[in-house]
Amino acid sequence: MRVASAPLETLGPQLISRLPSAVQKPSYDRAVLAPGMAHIGVGAFHRCHQAEYTDDLLSHRLEFWGVVGINIRPPFLAETLGSQGGLYTRLIRQDNHVEPRVIGSIVRVVDSQESTAPALDVLASSGIDMVTLTVTEKGYCHIPSSGALDFNHPDIAHDLANPEAPRSVPGILARALELRMASHGRPVTLLSCDNIPTNGVILETVVQALASQRNNGLADWISANVAFPSAMVDRIAPATTPADIELVAQRFGYHDAAVVVGEPFRQWVIEQKFAGRVPRWDLVGATFVSDVTPFEHLKMRVLNGAQTTLATLGVLAGLEHTSDAIADPLLADFVHRMLVEETLPTLMPVPGVAPLAYVEQSLGRLRNTAIRHRNHQIATDGSQKIVQRLLNPIRDRLAKGESIALLSVPVAGWMAYLIQASARFGKSWPVSDPYAGKVAAIADAIGHDPEVLAASILAIDTIFDPELATNPKFRAAVISALDGLLSNDTMAIVRRSLQQAAPTG
CA distance 192 to 269: 12
Dist CA 373 CA 370 (whole Å) = 9
pTM attached to this predicted model: 0.92
Interhelix angle 218-225/169-182, rounded to 10 degrees, is 90
pLDDT digits (tens, 9 = 90+) for 58-88: 999 999 999 999 999 999 999 899 999 999 9
Q: What is the DSSP string of 256-325?
A: -TT-EEE-S--EEEEES--SS----GGGGT-EEES--HHHHHHIIIIIIHHHHHHHHHHHHTT--BHHHH
Amino acid sitting at position 192: S
Residue-level pLDDT at 500: 87
Distance of CA 400 to CAs 116, 315, 396, Å? Answer: 48, 32, 7
**pLDDT tens figures, 351-365:** 999 999 999 999 999
Q: At residue 370, what is the residue type?
A: A
Q: What is the mean pLDDT of residues 272-297?
A: 97
- Residue 116: the pLDDT is 96
| Phi-psi region at 14: left, alpha or beta (left = phi > 0; alpha = psi -120 to 50) | alpha
Predicted confidence (pLDDT) per residue in 419-461, tens digit? 998 888 887 899 999 999 999 999 999 988 999 999 999 999 9
Domains of the chain in start order, with CATH, are 13-289 (3.40.50.720), 293-500 (1.10.1040.10)
User: Which amino acid is it at 258?
Assistant: A
Averaged over 11-33, what is the pLDDT? Answer: 96
- Measured CA to CA, the distance from residue 197 to residue 194 in angstroms comes to 9
Collapsed DSSP state (helix, strand, coil) of residue 205:
helix
**pLDDT confidence of 256, banded at 50, 70, 90?**
very high
- What proportion of the chain, given as a percentage, has pLDDT over 70? 98
Identify the pLDDT of residue 358.
98
Average pLDDT over residues 291-307: 97
Q: Alpha-carbon distance 485 to 487, whole Å?
A: 5
> What pLDDT score does 1 carry?
38
What is the mean pLDDT of the segment spanning 264-287? 97
Instruction: Give the pLDDT confidence of 163-217 residue by residue, as tens digits.
Output: 999 999 999 999 999 999 999 999 999 999 999 989 999 999 999 999 999 989 9
Say if residue 3's pLDDT is above 70: no
pLDDT of residue 505 exceeding 70: no
At residue 214, φ and ψ (nearest 5 deg) are -80, 160
- The predicted structure's pLDDT at residue 2: 39
pLDDT recorded at residue 5: 62
pLDDT exceeds cutoff 80 at 262? yes
What is the average per-residue pLDDT within 101-122? 97
